[in-house]
Amino acid sequence: MTTVERPPTRRAEEIDNDQHPVGHGRMLRKEDPRFVRGRGRYTDDVRLPGMLHMAILRSPVAHARIVSVDTSAAEAHPGVRAVITGEALAAQGLAWMPTLSNDVQAVLATDKVRFQGQEVACVVADDRYAARDALELIDVEYDILPPVVDARHALDADAPVIRDDLEGKADNHCFDWEAGDAAATDAVFADADVVVSQDVVYPRVHPAPMETCGCVADFDPVEGRLTLWSTSQAPHAHRTLYALVAGLPEHKIRVISPDIGGGFGNKVPIYPGYVCAIVGSLLTGKPVKWMEDRSENLTSTGFARDYIMRGEIAATKDGKILALRTNVLADHGAFNGTAAPVKYPAGFFGVFTGSYDLKAAYCHMTAVYTNKAPGGVAYACSFRITEAVYLVERLVSRLAAELGQDPARLRLANFIRPDQFPYATPTGWVYDSGDYAATLREAMRIAGYDDLRAEQARRRERGELMGIGVSTFTEAVGAGPRKHMDILGLGMADGCDLRVHPTGKAVVRLSVQSQGQGHETTFAQIVGEELGISPDDIDVVHGDTDNTPFGLGTYGSRSTPVSGAAAALVARKVRDKARVIASAMLEVAPDDLEWVKGSFQVAGDPGRSVTIQEIAMRAHGAGDLPEGVEGSLDAQITYNPPNLTYPNGAYICVVDVDPGTAQVRVRRFVAVDDCGTRINPMIIEGQVHGGLADGLGMALMEIIAFDPEGNCLGGSLMDYLIPTALETPDWETGFTVTPSPHHPIGAKGVGESATVGSPAAIVNAVIDALAPYGITGLDMPLTPSRVWEAMQGHPTPPI
């Protein structure tokens, strides 16, 4: 059931939850006092006695055979402790490492370099500056090879083979993947009144968190113990991988993710730099710090998107959508570094059927290797749902334009209805709940949709270019059910430990890791709500493999759907134990007790009750405990999600395009999200705001492009443009609430919703604005030059 709640007023937004000291609600963040004092502790803030610094030499070219690497001058440079090459790593069996998609990736290149920016050698020195200086002294001779830059030509018969390291590999084919029923879809298309097709390119972009990637590796040769502080969104999975790669026993590895300066998926993979720093520490017996610079971050770490798509939509002439058919060419770069569950090489692209009730759908995808940086799932994409939503939402708006129908009303007429849930899509996903029409109607109400359309008509008469774009989406988050989803064989579950101290204060230990999402607050609220303890009395421990239970980490908006469920259930386990102790304290049967937030009461006798704090003291106190109770109020759990959760949203964007300069200005952006039960509305809105800015960046500014030689053209923040306060509007947010039926508290996750949903709303708005020019399609990023050329009738080819 969906309830439509009004967004809080600006005044209310400023108020912390003094009124709601326990549980869910707007509450100021527990982590902020340290951050506003400059006392956050990020990886680069870690300083250990005797610590050395590492820098990495990277390939200046996209594709070349390595003829020789001469490190003698670098080794002789003052302050240099070690120079490591691929050859040296190969001698230890460490030159290659597995990626998260069962491919392999070079740690340091031995045979060839396969993208510009690839790691070739590294220097460990006394300070950052000496390490950098020594890089200049390494002499590498390259035998340049022709690069594969355009994915469309990667499978040409005469294309150079990039991955000749793979046995028998004679082409650049990475994988093929399909979803849905091709024959059934073709049959629906054959009979449809209307078929509209659209080429859609989602260019390569980069998450570019403000903190780049890095680590401090500290190997203690006496204990045989490795401690690694690293910018990792998944410390437990990383630890297991290091154990497998480096052959170190897993119990002797401790991975610590301290405060992280933004992740957005960029900090999910293991990068060669981490492995090199570990090797550097093994070699020198000293702690080694590696922090990449911004151009290293942009040119070599996990990119996102890079899908070249063709979509077709079949409908009746009055606008009933019948089927979708799509073909995708996916550019995976030089190594398949996608961080998605292994059975999902295309991530969750299979949800490209969106929020619509369809008869059939089919997708075929071909993925290729190119001479570009590896990656593929990053930047808050929910495992490729960003690409899927962008495709279907562009198609549906295009269909509305072709039919002369309003794009919002066409959507309302085609949504899956609330009574159809759980809803099985033609590509095999089972959506849990939602009331998509209610969400869109709320967005239309906030936006004043009909007034906007009237205003647009008036402005059009005056020659002004105002556009209104609509995008509605269904997300699939909280990966995932163990039987379908794993990463390198590790099931995607999360553990949670809860300990209640004798005085009733608690500490909860999580397997997920915050990169700014506010876990120390949200998880304290989840446990607080379940136990009736103030969140201020609950400490949240995360990001340290020695001090937290195993789990797969934070990405794909999975923290609340998976770890949040674990936190609620572990608290309920504690409560069950507390009930037994309370029954002894009150001398009644456990079943005669009622839980009233924070205490157990004798049913029908509210005068007789004990608080959770009193029970905690009793659980640790002297004297007999009830039969079967060992003492303490601790519990541990591993949560295996039975299904994904499916948040949804409806976004409306208003743009003005300057007819003289083709500059696009986002005048308004209305985002209504339904992420089920809302734990901390302030944090949720913050997540939505951030995702909207990401979406605006991708729609209007951000692209990692390459020249024909494979040189990266987005290697600095001067070239890779990220929105500032000047381009972004004052976001307008609203919400509906449809709890997930299978999540213990009904929460669905929200971290990526806005990144997933917003680009299509902005692009649809610009296309709508340019309707007088007969423009029906435009590819991101909608820079002034790209829009201008389209207005002149000579659109720039996409990427």
Partner 1 sequence: MQVTMTVNGTGVTREVEPRLLLVHFLRDDLGLTGTHWGCDTSNCGTCVVWMDDEPVKSCTVLAAMADGHRIRTVEGLAQADGTLDPVQEGFMRCHGLQCGFCTPGMMMTARALLDRTPHPDEAEIRAAISGQICRCTGYATIVRSVQWAADHADGAATAGPPSADAEDLGHAGEARDAVPETTGEERHATAGSTS
Between helices 407-414 and 385-403, what is the axis angle to 10°? 110
* Residues 472-511 as x/- pattern, contact with ligand FES by CB under 6 A: ----------------------------------------
Residue 761: what are its φ and ψ, rounded to 5°?
-65, -40
Asked if residues 119 and 108 have their Cβ atoms less than 8 Å apart, the reply is: yes
Return phi, psi of residue 661, to 5°. -115, -10
Q: Does 68 bind partner 1 (CB under 8 A)?
A: no
Q: How many C-beta neighbours within 10 Å does residue 343 have?
A: 10
**Of residues 5, 45, 250, 450, which one binds partner 1 by CB under 8 A?**
45
Q: Alpha-carbon distance 712 to 517, whole Å?
A: 31
Please tell me whether the peptide bond between 422 and the residue prior to it is cis, using omega within 30 degrees of 0: yes
Closer Cβ to ligand FES, 227 or 295, answer by number: 295
Stretch that binds partner 1, among 142-150, 550-558, 598-606, 718-726 (CB under 8 A): 718-726
Strand blocks (E) in 475-529: 486-487, 490-491, 494-500, 506-510
Nearest to ligand FES by Cβ — which residue? 210
Q: Does 214 bind partner 1 (CB under 8 A)?
A: no
- Letter for the amino acid at 376? G
Which stretch in 383-391, 462-470, 537-545, 715-723 sits in contact with partner 1 by CB under 8 A? 715-723
Least distance (Å) from partner 1 to the CB of residue 514? 8
Residue from 7, 8, 40, 784 touching partner 1 (CB under 8 A): that is 40
Smallest gap from Cβ 683 to ligand FES, in A, equals 12
What is the DSSP secondary structure assignment for residue 125, as one 8-state letter?
Answer: E
Backbone Cα Rg of the chain = 27
Complex with ligand FES: residue 478 or 690, whichever CB lies closer: 690
Q: Is 28 in the site for partner 1 (CB under 8 A)?
A: yes
129 binds, among partner 1, ligand FES, none (CB under 5 to 8 A by kind): partner 1
Strand segments, DSSP code E, in 369-464 are: 375-376, 423-424, 430-431
From residue 514 to residue 553, what is the string marking binding to partner 1 with x (rule CB under 8 A)?
-xxxx-----------------------------------
In angstroms, rounded to a whole number, what is the distance separating the alpha carbons of residues 724 and 720?
A: 12
Q: What are phi and psi of 223, to 5 degrees?
A: -80, -15
429-488 binders of partner 1 (CB under 8 A): none
**Considering beta carbons, is residue 210 or 457 the nearer one to ligand FES?**
210
Contact partner at residue 534 from ligand FES, partner 1, none, CB < 5 to 8 Å by partner kind: none
Residue 154, Ramachandran bin (φ over 0: left; ψ between -120 and 50: alpha; else beta)? alpha
**Please, which residue, 181 or 732, has the CB nearer to partner 1?**
732
Question: Residues 6 or more apart from 624 whose CB is under 8 A from it?
Answer: none
**From residue 200 to residue 219, what is the string marking binding to ligand FES with x (rule CB under 6 A)?**
----------x---------
Could you say which residues in the range 278-307 bind ligand FES, by CB under 6 A?
Answer: none
The CB-side HSE value for 136 (13 A sphere, CA atoms) comes to 5
Helix, strand or coil for residue 713?
coil
Whether the Cβ atoms of residue 703 and residue 641 lie closer than 8 Å to each other:
no
Question: Considering the rule CB under 8 A, would residue 102 count as an interface residue with partner 1?
Answer: no
Residue 40 within binding range of ligand FES, rule CB under 6 A = no
* Residue 502 binds partner 1, judged by CB under 8 A: no
Answer yes or no whether residue 44 interacts with partner 1 by CB under 8 A: yes
Between 287 and 504, name the residue whose CB sits nearer to partner 1: 287
Q: What one-character-per-residue DSSP string does 637-700 give?
A: EEE--SS-B--EEEEEEEEEE-TTT--EEEEEEEEEEE-BS-S-HHHHHHHHHHHHHHHHHHHH
- Per-position x/- string for 624-663, each x denoting binding to partner 1 as judged by CB under 8 A, each - no binding: ----------------------------------------
3-state secondary structure 567-616: HHHHHHHHHHHHHHHHHHHHCCCHHHEEEECCEEEECCEEEEEEEHHHHH
Told to check if 309 binds partner 1 by CB under 8 A, we report no
Q: For residues 150 and 293, which CB has a smaller minimum distance to partner 1 in the complex?
A: 293
Which partner from the list partner 1, ligand FES, none does 199 bind, CB cut-off 5 to 8 Å by kind? none
Identify the residue among 3, 6, 33, 458 touching partner 1 (CB under 8 A).
33
48 binds partner 1 per the rule CB under 8 A: no
Q: How many chain residues touch ligand FES (CB under 6 A)?
A: 3
| Smaller CB separation from partner 1, 9 or 158 | 9
- Strands of 703-773 (E only): list them: 732-737
DSSP letters for 287-315: -EEEE--HHHHHHHS-EEEEEEEEEEEEE
Helices (H) and strands (E) in the chain, counts: 19, 34
Smallest distance, Å, CB 173 to ligand FES? 39
Which amino acid is located at 134 in the chain? Answer: A
Identify whether the C-beta of residue 380 lies closer than 8 Å to the C-beta of residue 752.
yes
d(CA 646, CA 340): 18
Question: Measured from the CB of residue 754, what is the shortest distance to partner 1 in angstroms?
Answer: 8
- 72 in helix, strand or coil? helix
Q: Cβ of residue 575: shortest distance to partner 1, in angstroms?
A: 31
Q: Cβ of residue 209: shortest distance to ligand FES, in angstroms? A: 7
Determine which residue in the list 110, 212, 425, 643 makes contact with partner 1, applying CB under 8 A: 212
Q: Out of 142, 639, 731, 735, which residue is the one contacting partner 1 (CB under 8 A)?
A: 731
Q: How far is the CB of 291 from ligand FES (least distance, A)?
A: 12
Query: Which residues lie below 8 Å from residue 412, measured CB to CB, with a gap of 6+?
Result: 437, 440, 441
Q: Does 516 bind ligand FES (CB under 6 A)?
A: yes
Q: Smallest distance from the beta carbon of 340 to partner 1, in angstroms?
A: 22
Selected from 262, 729, 795, 798, the binder of ligand FES by CB under 6 A is 262
Nearby residues of 463 by Cβ (< 8 Å), 6 or more positions away? 659
Smaller CB distance to ligand FES: residue 517 or 738? 517
* Least distance CB 297 / partner 1 (angstroms): 9
What 3-state DSSP class applies to 269? coil
Query: How many Å apart are CA 135 and CA 140, to the nearest integer?
Result: 11
Q: Would you count residue 726 as binding partner 1 (CB under 8 A)? A: yes
Binding positions for ligand FES, rule: CB under 6 A: 210, 262, 516
Binding positions for partner 1, rule: CB under 8 A: 10, 13-14, 16, 28-29, 31-33, 35-42, 44-45, 47, 127-129, 207-212, 259-262, 264, 293-295, 515-518, 682-683, 685-687, 689-694, 716-718, 722-726, 728-731
